[in-house]
Amino acid sequence: MVAEREQDILSSRIPIIDVSNPDQGLVARAVVKASEEWGVFQLVNHGIPTELIQRLQNVGRRFFELSETEKKAVAKPDNSREGYARRYTLDLEKKIGTVDQLYHNIWPPSVVNHSYWPKNPQDYREVNEEYTRQVKILSEKIMEWLSEGLGLRREAINEVVGGEYLLNVNYYPPCPHPDLIEGLDAHTDVSGLTLLLTNEIPGLQVFKDDQWIEVEYIPFAVIVNISDQILRVSNGKYKSVLHKTTVDKERTRMSWAVLVRPTSDMVVGPFPELIGDDPPKFKSMLYKDYIYRKVRNLPFVDLDS
Ligand code: OGA
Ligand code: NI
């Protein structure tokens, strides 16, 4: 069948899935397969308007091009995760490059604090609110496909994992030593699901079958990472993809990551329906306890059976 072949996954290439395919069952199966085998895929024709993506990237870039003083209008306070801050500072010994970050909640309205949203550019808020609406529709669709792929009700994953949405804009300025350092070192995302846009500068790499594979830049595609909480609720059926970023010698790289995650008091663990005779692969725990351990690099092995 031609359509089957179109959705075929080449083993050396991150799966690219056309969401507009009229056979939505085929799209769902491709998403499930990619999540099982890779934990990452690219969605094209995903329904988020191209023009909106252009505007989102435009207001983000314009914010980062403001003077440091102007950007500090939304500076991250020490006691908050939200706001603008330097995420990493160039350190050749540690092989870390400079990464600046703008981070703020986008949904639900009860967790949105507009004092961390840039006022300049003026249309920042309107554009980000519209992007939030659109990205949420797409992420809920993905979670439905993934739930059905586990043989569960289509709301199942969203009910556990889809409580909050955050936007994390990364800004990687040019680096004179791109061969010596990395942007972000190898990690899996702590959230449930990450929906990522990048500018045209390549730099994202994912780990599969003992090698790092460069994610090809496709204009307006949404890169979807399966992250830790979907790995856990699926009892390991879906992979949480290990990834890292590189920097460019001359050009600034930017990315927009929407993190879809459980609320901090949500208990996250494998769905009971997925547990057969073997013990579950992961222990259920509050999302906030999971984050506590992950950011401190505490082992999970004593917890996960
Ligand atoms: C992240 C991340 C990827 C990128 O922020 O966790 O992996 O392409 N970003 O910047
Ligand atoms: Ni990441």
CA angle 16, 41, 258 (to 5 degrees): 125
Whole-number Å distance, alpha carbon 256 to ligand 2 midpoint, is 11
Give which of 100, 128, 96, 101 is closest to 114, Cα–Cα: 128
Q: What is the pTM of this model?
A: 0.93
Region 41-48: mean pLDDT is: 98
pLDDT tier, 90 (very low <50, low <70, confident <90, very high otherwise)? confident
Does 304 reside within a domain? no
Q: Which atom of ligand 1 is nearest to the CA of 198?
A: 8
Q: Which residues of 172-193 are buried (b: 16+ CB within 10 A; e: fewer)?
A: bbebeebeebbbbeeebbbbbb
Ligand nearest to the CA of 101: 1
Whole-number Å distance, alpha carbon 166 to ligand 1 midpoint, is 13
- The CATH number of residue 272's host domain is 2.60.120.330
Provide the CA 148 distance to its chain's centre, in angstroms.
21
Residue 278 has pLDDT above 70, yes or no: yes
- Ligand 1 is surrounded, with C-beta below 6 A, by 168, 170, 184, 189, 196, 198, 204, 243, 245, 255, 257
Region 128-149: mean pLDDT is: 98
The answer to whether 195 touches 137, Cβ cutoff 8 Å, is no
Q: What is the DSSP letter of 76?
A: P
Does 1 reside within a domain? no
Mutation pick for ligand 1 pocket among 185, 189, 245 (CB with most ligand atoms within 8 Å): 245
Whole-number Å distance, alpha carbon 186 to ligand 2 midpoint, is 8
Whole-number Å distance, alpha carbon 280 to ligand 1 midpoint, is 30
Atom 8 of ligand 1, residue of closest alpha carbon: 204
User: 48 CB contacts (<8 Å, ≥6 apart)?
Assistant: 131, 134, 135, 138, 220, 222
Whole-number Å distance, alpha carbon 245 to ligand 1 midpoint, is 7
Does 4 reside within a domain? no
Region 33-44: mean pLDDT is: 98
Number of domains in the chain: 1
Other residues' Cβ atoms within 10 Å of the Cβ of residue 5: 7
pLDDT tier, 15 (very low <50, low <70, confident <90, very high otherwise)? very high
Residue 217 has pLDDT above 70, yes or no: yes
CA angle 182, 183, 185 (to 5 degrees): 65
d(CA 127, CA 125): 5
Among 173-182, 183-192, 203-212, 281-290, whose mean pLDDT is lowest? 173-182
d(CA 191, CA 194): 7
Name beta bridge partners: 182.
96
* pLDDT at 98 (0 to 100): 84
Mean per-residue pLDDT over the chain, rounded: 92
Range of the domain at 246: 12-296
Strand spans (E) along 55-183:
83-88, 99-107, 164-172
The answer to whether 186 touches 126, Cβ cutoff 8 Å, is no
User: 14 CB contacts (<8 Å, ≥6 apart)?
Assistant: 38, 40, 41, 42, 206, 213, 215, 216
Whole-number Å distance, alpha carbon 190 to ligand 1 midpoint, is 12
Residue 4 has pLDDT above 70, yes or no: no
pLDDT tier, 12 (very low <50, low <70, confident <90, very high otherwise)? low
Does 244 reside within a domain? yes
User: DSSP characters for 235-292?
Assistant: TTSS----EEE---SSS-EEEEEEEEE--TT-EE---GGG--SSPPSS--EEHHHHHH
Does 303 reside within a domain? no
Does 217 reside within a domain? yes
Does 59 reside within a domain? yes
Mutation pick for ligand 1 pocket among 40, 64, 81, 170 (CB with most ligand atoms within 8 Å): 170
Q: Which atom of ligand 1 is nearest to the CA of 189?
A: 6
Angstrom CA distances, 232 to 132, 141, 144, 157, 192, stand at: 25, 19, 16, 11, 9
Q: What is the DSSP letter of 120?
A: S
